[in-house]
Chain A
Amino acid sequence: MSHQNAYQHPDQQLVSRVLGGDRHAFGIIIKNTEGLVAQLIFKMIPVPADRKDLAQDVYLKAYKNLPGFKFQSKLSTWIGQITYNTCLHYLEKKKVVLIDERDDEEGGQQQSLERLQQKDVGRYDNEVECLLSAKELSVILNTEMDKLSPVYKTLLSLYHQEEMSYAEIGQITNLPEGTVKNYLFRARKALKQNLLTNYKREDL
Chain B
Amino acid sequence: MSSYHPSDNELQQYAMDGTFAGDELAAHTQGCAACSAKLANYRLLTRQMSVMPKPAFDFDLAGLVLQQLPAPKAEFPWIAVLGVTLTMIFLAAISLLFGSYLVQLLQDLPALFATILAASAIAVFAGMLNTMIKEHHDQMKKLDFN
Does A26 sit within 8 A of B, measured CB to CB? yes
Asked if A121 and B66 make an inter-chain contact with CB atoms under 8 angstroms apart, the answer reads no
What bracket does the count of chain B residues touching chain A fall in?
20 to 34
Identify the closest chain A residue to B8 (Cβ).
A189
Asked if A56 and B61 make an inter-chain contact with CB atoms under 8 angstroms apart, the answer reads yes
Choose, from A70-78, A94-102, A135-143, the stretch at the interface. A135-143
Partner of B54, one of A21, A38, A121: A38
Asked if B72 and A21 make an inter-chain contact with CB atoms under 8 angstroms apart, the answer reads yes
Choose, from A4-12, A84-92, A122-130, A167-175, the stretch at the interface. A122-130
Q: If A27-B66, A34-B61, A38-B54 touch, does A137 touch B48 (CB 8 Å cutoff)?
A: yes
Asked if A161 and B50 make an inter-chain contact with CB atoms under 8 angstroms apart, the answer reads yes
Whole-angstrom CA separation of A196 from B40 in the bound complex: 13
Write out the residue numbers on chain A whose beta carbons fall within 8 Å of the beta carbon of B3.
Answer: none
Contact with A along B18-44 (1 / 0, CB 8 A): 000000000000000110111011101
Does B59 sit within 8 A of A, measured CB to CB? yes
Whole-angstrom CA separation of A26 from B49 in the bound complex: 31
Does A117 sit within 8 A of B, measured CB to CB? yes
Identify the closest chain A residue to B72 (Cβ).
A21
Does B69 sit within 8 A of A, measured CB to CB? yes
- 26 cross-chain CB contacts under 8 A: A26-B69, A34-B61, A34-B62, A35-B54, A39-B54, A42-B55, A52-B64, A55-B57, A55-B61, A56-B65, A56-B68, A59-B65, A60-B65, A124-B33, A124-B34, A125-B40, A126-B37, A129-B40, A138-B53, A141-B45, A160-B50, A188-B12, A189-B8, A189-B12, A192-B42, A196-B41
